[in-house]
Amino acid sequence: MQPEKAKRLRLKNELQKVGTSFSAIARELGVTHSTVLAVSNSKGVSARVQQAIAYKLGVAPSELWPDRYPENGKEPS
């Protein structure tokens, strides 16, 4: 299985455990479901979507996307 797909499935399962989904996050943010999927697959970049997913899971975005937040968990400028 591709690493991106495995990550997406893991995130999907973790979101289900806390009672939400990619679709629910998309609705809350007013973005498309495919936008949230692209971010979860690391194929799309949206700090807002990453933060929403991380918030729902109770972690920092840097824990889910360490390559995007390399220092101190802050988004690169």
In a domain, 24, yes or no: yes
pTM: 0.84
- Domain with residue 24: its CATH number is 1.10.260
Number of domains within the chain: 1
As a whole number of angstroms, the distance between CA 7 and CA 42 comes to 9
The answer to the question of residue 70 being in a domain is: no
Quickly count helices (H) and strands (E) in the chain. 5, 0
16 in a domain, yes or no?
yes
In a domain, 76, yes or no: no
Residue 29's domain comprises 3-64
pLDDT digits (tens, 9 = 90+) for 14-65: 999 999 999 999 999 999 999 999 999 888 889 999 999 999 999 999 999 8
Contact 47, 35 (CB under 8 A): no
In a domain, 38, yes or no: yes
Tell me if 74 is assigned to some domain. Answer: no
Inside any domain, residue 47 = yes
